[in-house]
Amino acid sequence: MREALIARVEGHGRIEVKVKKGKLQSIKLDILTPPRLFEKLIVGRHFSEVPTIVSRICSICSASHRVVSVMALEDALGIKVPEEVELMRRLLLHGGVLESHALHLFLLALPDYYRKASFVELSKDAPELVTLGFRLKGLGNRIQETVGGRAIHQITPVVGGMSAFPPAGELESIAGEAEALMERTYLTLKDVPSLELTPLAQVENWVSLSGREYEYTGGDILINGRERLRVEDFSRRFHESSLPPSYVKHTLLDNEKTFMVGALARVLNNRSKLKGRAGSFCRELGLTRQKSTFMNNLAQAVELLFCLERVSWIVEKLLKNREWSEEGIVVDFTPRAGRGVAAIEAPRGLLLHRYSLDDRGYVLDGDIVTPTALNLSEMERTLRDMAGHLLREGVRELTPSLEMLVRAFDPCISCSVHLLEV
């Protein structure tokens, strides 16, 4: 048995590959991040405390967790928020996507493309690449700090609105920085060398939200670009079940199909709505023609451009025709019993929160479906396909390719590969 820690991913996880006489026996992906039981921690807490607790599920997706929990609770309480609140939350989410994609693409994934061990090594050969990564990540964090109050575990999104708005000058400066980075981001990303793609890591099913515009909030769930499903009907088609040979809980579509969520799923479902630089870059890359899992990295590149364009658009819309005030907006409401659900696109894919409240606003139960959990079966399926293929080709060293495949999914787990020769 050999063990190798896969670095440059988040959290703790492990892939176990069993090989007998050169043939793949089984492959299993374990999430080793110890249980923290968030769905239970919130039971009996007042709804106003829930966003603060659940944002701690994940540091890099904390803005997504905070905003979607607020939206699900507003659904339960029958609250509608004004447009500027919605726009401000969207701006925050774009900051989150910029930071997450820039971190993943430039600092964790791109070293693979240039055959470097880490971004530190990469910065010696291609300093401009690493610098741009940090600039984009820094802009994402600046947006999250300015709008959300902190780069991690944001403060301002609250049930009923936003507790504070940023100074107008800060927003203008953010929009300026986004515009200034656009050209450089495009020119850099278009010249990234391509990975040797294996045709076996093919996306067969993909799932994301889909609304009128390319966005991270709103719309229905769209499956494979064809079938629509309302967010509240999610559990009619998606079920948790055990899928041999793994023992981890998996979410399957119609009890049998694995599927991908994340940047590539969003692009595949909504590419016709991508306008401007992001739209033309997407067509230029042709990433929707061959549906390879590895294209997720390029889909992230497209979304980085999309976010830069969108950030300046949202800021312009927010500042237009308005007497700007840094006072927050929180609408009046009375707690009541109810159930609520909301889904958004976190950087890594579909994220769904459900809560039910008693008549004084205390949580009776909660359900949180995260993108990494949704992607788990698909990760295993593609790992199995790829390991089988490589073994048939006589490749002995499976680890680097499997590592790269896991990294393409951008999971919230760090993996160590256990290769068992039995």
Interface residue with other proteins among 18, 76, 92, 156 (CB under 8 A) is 156
Q: Are 303 and 295 in contact (CB under 8 A)?
A: no
Applying CB under 8 A, the span of 151-159, 180-188, 276-284, 372-380 interacting with other proteins comes to: 151-159
Does position 185 bind other proteins by CB under 8 A?
A: no
Does position 87 bind other proteins by CB under 8 A?
A: no
Residues that bind other proteins (rule: CB under 8 A) add up to a total of 59
Q: Within 10 Å of residue 153's Cβ, how many Cβ atoms?
A: 17
Does position 53 bind other proteins by CB under 8 A?
A: yes
Q: Within 10 Å of residue 46's Cβ, how many Cβ atoms?
A: 13
Report residue 300: phi and psi, to 5°.
-65, -40
- Near other proteins in 303-342, by CB under 8 A: 327-328
Applying CB under 8 A, the span of 29-37, 85-93, 176-184, 331-339 interacting with other proteins comes to: 29-37
Does position 57 bind other proteins by CB under 8 A?
A: yes
Least separation in angstroms between residue 215's CB and other proteins is 25
Q: How far apart are CA 406 and CA 388, in angstroms?
A: 16
Left, alpha or beta for 191 (phi > 0: left; psi -120 to 50: alpha)? alpha
Task: Please name which of 65, 69, 127 lies closest in space to residue 100, comparing C-alpha atoms.
Answer: 65
Does position 108 bind other proteins by CB under 8 A?
A: yes
Nearest CB to other proteins, comparing residues 45 and 273: 45
Nearest CB to other proteins, comparing residues 139 and 350: 139
Task: Please name which of 244, 198, 118, 203 lies closest in space to residue 398, comparing C-alpha atoms.
Answer: 198
Task: Please name which of 343, 94, 356 lies closest in space to residue 220, comparing C-alpha atoms.
Answer: 343
Does position 58 bind other proteins by CB under 8 A?
A: yes
Nearest CB to other proteins, comparing residues 53 and 200: 53
Interface residue with other proteins among 25, 59, 194, 325 (CB under 8 A) is 59
Does position 151 bind other proteins by CB under 8 A?
A: yes
Give how far Cα 199 sits from Cα of 137, 216, 262, Å: 31, 29, 19
Task: Please name which of 277, 264, 311 lies closest in space to residue 92, comparing C-alpha atoms.
Answer: 311
Least separation in angstroms between residue 2's CB and other proteins is 14
Q: Are 317 and 71 in contact (CB under 8 A)?
A: no
Does position 158 bind other proteins by CB under 8 A?
A: yes
Does position 7 bind other proteins by CB under 8 A?
A: yes
Applying CB under 8 A, the span of 116-124, 266-274, 288-296, 372-380 interacting with other proteins comes to: 116-124
Q: Are 33 and 372 in contact (CB under 8 A)?
A: no
Strand 363-369 and strand 349-357: pairing? antiparallel
Applying CB under 8 A, the span of 7-15, 167-175, 215-223, 306-314 interacting with other proteins comes to: 7-15
Does position 47 bind other proteins by CB under 8 A?
A: no
Task: Please name which of 141, 159, 161 lies closest in space to residue 149, comparing C-alpha atoms.
Answer: 141
Does position 168 bind other proteins by CB under 8 A?
A: no
Task: Please name which of 382, 389, 388 lies closest in space to residue 407, comparing C-alpha atoms.
Answer: 382
Strand 415-421 and strand 13-20: pairing? parallel
Least separation in angstroms between residue 274's CB and other proteins is 28
Does position 400 bind other proteins by CB under 8 A?
A: no
Interface residue with other proteins among 1, 21, 34, 323 (CB under 8 A) is 34
Q: Which amino acid is at 385?
A: D
Does position 364 bind other proteins by CB under 8 A?
A: no
Q: Which residues bind other proteins (CB under 8 A)?
A: 5-12, 33-41, 45-46, 49, 52-53, 56-60, 62, 103, 107-108, 117-120, 123, 130-131, 134-135, 137-138, 141, 149-153, 155-156, 158, 163-164, 242, 247, 249, 327-328, 414
